[in-house]
Chain A
Amino acid sequence: MATAAHSGKNYLNEKSGLWSWLTSLDHKRIGIMYMISVMIFFAIGGTFAMLLRWELFGAGPTIMNAHQYNQTMTFHGAIMVFMVIIPGIPAFLGNFILPLHLGAKDVAFPRVNLMSWYCLMVGSAIAFWSLFYHGSDTGWTFYTPYSVTTQNGTIWLVFGAFIIGFSSILTGLNFIVTTHKLRAPGMSFWRMPLFVWALYSTALLQVLATPVLAITLLLLAMERLLGIGVFDPNLGGDPVLFQHFFWFYSHPAVYIMILPAMGVVSEIITAFSHKTIFGYKAIALSSVGIAAVSFFVWGHHMFVSGQSEIAGIIFSFITMLVGVPTAIKCFNWVATLYRGSVRFDSPLLFALGFLFLFTIGGVTGIILATVGIDVHFHDTYFVVAHFHYVMVGGTLMAIMGGIYYWFPKMFGKLVNEFWARLSFVFIFIGFNVTFFPQFVLGAMGMPRRYFDYLPEYEPLNRISSFGAWTIGVGFLIGLGVIIHGLLRGKPAGPNPWGAKTLEWTTASPPPHENFLVQPVVTAGPYEYR
């Protein structure tokens, strides 16, 4: 093995050819395959977003009709949720980094890991297949009875999401077992990097929540095909039950999207302030705490659905509790920067951008959790702005930061710092210009999923559209940075950032076995002394 490394062999050049990638059981290669597929899906979902903002540039029809708008809105949401943000960090960055962080050679079940990627591919292909059956116009939430009655390829989109769900379950299962069984000698739970804690909490959610989505989508498909009358009021069913089932999955799912992002940010902030994390245990346990509480808050999506008043109050209370561990994390990150040695490379910029946007997303989350306030904001642009601040401002910022942070490890090369920082500037400014006005639009009462709007909403919508295109430019620059880094990047060396976690102790790119000598852990992950 040692000889292989000395001869410059690594996971990238060990074997060659497309087939060697498509059949690879190496978690690093599978991670890169996820990276490419998620980037492609992101480009498609992002294109839909640009079209939506173009349509909303002015009141009245601009470039499409209402039906096309609703389909575009549906596919933007479904692609971004199921194919980009959910697999984004766990399946891509997590796959690559988790075994390295643990000092393991691979995940516990490499074949299951590969199968998980194929599930994502097959599920996505089926979901896109629906476009040949007049698409789908239900929104990504598939609310009944609309989703049962609308005439089009919704069944394919539902089936695709069902298959993608298996991808998520299998990845979660793999990560749980890997974390429990494959830690390097000496690596106790309290010595695991915080990214691992975040992935572990996420995996618990994936394993516990996604099966409920599976059965919900199965029942929905049966409702469409056989009219089984579980969700259809004409057949004795209850359409609101679908919402309970759906959000029982989809609320934990939003933490599937954000928890790993919090893990990435913890890594980046320690590495670039060159200082140990402040309150390691609090951050680690708050991930698990958020995951646990997230199962009991689904009803806050349904304050005005017709559920009982007492249910609304209980769900509002539990939702407030999520705010506490989230607040701890934010304050602890800021405290980590205190008396640090802060270096402003692009990963840190994205992590700071995350903190900035996530804080705004977080406080507006508390506003929405306040049940009496939500009756006005529910299903308005305020909600749209809130979840974009968390999902895009949070998760996508963390993905970008994570890519720039681990790019040297993945490919052994450095990206061009100037252009990487420029991509941040465009994304960050564009993001705020896009979504901040939407808070105001929501407060003014503009409902979401509106193809057309009253003239008084036009000026802010126009600003929002300009912002969206700015984000688009930012991501194009980011893509350029990555491609340029791959082709022309300067050699990185094993540890360009001077970080302390295990992945930086091996070569860049790592060899197939990750570590030539089994690492033995004797201290915590952030020992900057």
Chain B
Amino acid sequence: MLNTSDILETIRMIRDENLDIRTVTMGISLFDCISDDPERLAEKIYDKVTRSAGRLVEVCCELEQTYGIPIVNKRISVTPLSYIGAGLSPEGFVKLAKVLERAAQELGVNFIGGYSAHVQKGAIKGAEALIESIPEALTETTRICSSINVATTKAGINMDAVAKMGEIIKKTAYLTRDNDSIGCAKLVVFANIPEDNPFMAGAVHGMGEPDTVINVGVSGPGVVAVAVKEAGDCDFSALAETVKRIAFKITRVGQLIASEAARRLGAPYGIVDLSLAPTPAAGDSVAEILENMGLSRCGTHGTTAALALLNDAVKKGGVMASNHVGGLSGAFIPVSEDRGMIEAAKLGTLTLDKLEAMTAVCSVGLDMIAIPGDTSAATISGIIADEISIGVVNNKTTAVRVIPVWGKGVGDSAEFGGLLGYAPIMPVKGESCERFIARGGRIPAPIHSLKN
């Protein structure tokens, strides 16, 4: 039987500590839309997406009302378009992006992910054309998210693709220069991209997924921050236990919503992603959790250890609460979307180097970081190569979503709006890595990729 304090705890989490379901994402396979006629392809994609997700928003609203918990985002991921439109030109891909944008508007979802390609070993023609089209596609649309997987632990790192993505990010920044280069906020470069991630901008519907699927991303940094604060100056074992307990409760809500959404939508339930996803709102910050553990400011010495403890405890608590766990699962550290990170970056305590170290122990990578607009394409590729190496060598997903804000430099800040937040421009190193990036080819897979 439920007791009063349990019920009031749930109410407090939702009302005062920003507990919510961050996203219900429907994955939709587009393989049955493939056609050699571009017009027919576009038509079939529009029909499949609007038909499959026709009730997504409505069902999520019903669930919000029934269970009393907000579902912040309703989203869609599709099969990477480089496969579906493999014969298209870059212009053809831009048209597909616009078709998906129209579908997103019609359905009332805020993002569709899957403007994507896997190029870890090399690019098929469709991937080359899609990558070429990214700057224009992200300029012409507002709800389409793009992700490119440039490396896996098994395949190594495609450095030609890394070099290319530096240029693509620069071009996207230029084309969306009137809005603080916001196009780059919808573009992620991955190592070991998951096939079932419900979070944007990196959501795709993988090749081994069912025709449609429901994946859910939970949240709740505010809830964890309060629990850590209330735990006081306990030792690390007790601290980890506190986080585990609260992560269990948060994830159970995700599990409930995922299975109920899947049932009502007639789609299989896929996974719950055990992530702590912050927002720029007060009391919804991962940095605040770390600071409540005893750091005077996120980014100072001890931050990586604090984050490692947090990330591990979230997984241990969450995995018990859900029958299928997947996606990115861990603490996110998107700078512009986390009030504590923004403050720490403004003060210079949180630097790009420290963030890189932090990504070695958490999910996902260098995320939503504004850098000077005059950063060279080679330097951006260098940042990508470093981050991707961490993922490849450590058998984990890492990613880079940096925004070289056109016309702005260190001391300025960029405004992305809504959940994407705002960020101070963070300095990058001035010394060149151009000769290194220009080598081209592939960095071989690490020895521990040979597991068989």
Q: Decide whether A and B assemble into one complex.
A: no
Residues of A within 8 A of B (CB): none
Residues of B within 8 A of A (CB): none
